[in-house]
Amino acid sequence: MSLNLNRAQTKSAYPKAVFFTMALLLAVEFDGSLFAFSAMQESQKASSHDATGLERGPMQKIAPSVKQILKMKFDLDGKFILIDQKSWGEQETLEAQKLAIRKQMLDRKVDEAAIDRMVDQLVPSRMTAGPITKLFSEVRKRGGMRSSSTSVSGGRTTMTSFGADLSCRVSLSGDRFEMRIDEFKGPGRTLEVCSTVGTRILLTGTDTLAMLHQTDVGIMGVLIDGDEVYSGRASDYYALSKQNPKLHGKLSAIFRHAGVDLPLGVNEPEVKRVALRMLGSMYSSDLTGLSQLIEQLNASEFSAREEASKEIEELFPAFEGAILKELDSDELSIEARNRLKIIVKRKEEAQAGDRRAEDCVKANKLLGSIDYIISLFEIADEQSRQLLVRHLTKTTQQDFGMDVEKWKQWSRDNAE
- pLDDT tens digit string along 253-278? 899 888 898 888 888 888 998 898 88
Which H or E element spans position 203?
strand 199-205
> Whole-model pTM above 0.75?
no
The domain spans of the chain are 8-257, 269-353, 369-413
Q: How confident is the model at residue 182 (pLDDT cuts 50, 70, 90)?
A: very high
pLDDT at 3 (0 to 100): 32
Q: What is the average pLDDT across 303-315?
A: 88
Identify whether the C-beta of residue 363 lies closer than 8 Å to the C-beta of residue 79.
yes
Residue-wise pLDDT for 113-123, tens only, equals 666 666 555 55
Residue 76: is its pLDDT beyond 80?
no
Q: Tell me how crowded residue 186 is: count the other CB atoms within 10 A of its CB.
A: 20
User: Pseudo-torsion of CA 67, 70, 75, 80, nearest 10°?
Assistant: -120
**Alpha carbons 338 and 327: distance in angstroms, whole number:** 9
Mean pLDDT, rounded, for 175-181 = 89
pLDDT of 257 reads: 86
Contacts of 86 (CB under 8 A, 6+ apart): none
Look over the chain and give the mean of its residue pLDDT values, rounded to a whole number. Answer: 77
Q: What is the DSSP string of 87-102?
A: GGTTHHHHHHHHHHHH
Query: pLDDT band for position 355 (50/70/90)?
Result: confident
**pLDDT tens digit string along 6-50?**
333 333 333 344 444 444 444 444 444 434 434 443 433 333 334
Rounded Cα gap, residues 109 and 413, in angstroms? 76
Q: Looking at residue 28, what is its pLDDT? A: 42
Q: If you average pLDDT over residues 397-411, what whole number do you get?
A: 93
Phi-psi region of 174 (alpha: psi -120 to 50; beta: other; left: phi over 0): left
Task: Determine the Cα–Cα distance for residues 8 and 243; give it in Å rounded to an integer.
Answer: 37
The percent of residues above 90 in pLDDT, for the chain, comes to 24
How much of the chain is helix, strand and coil, in % rounded to 5? 55, 20, 30
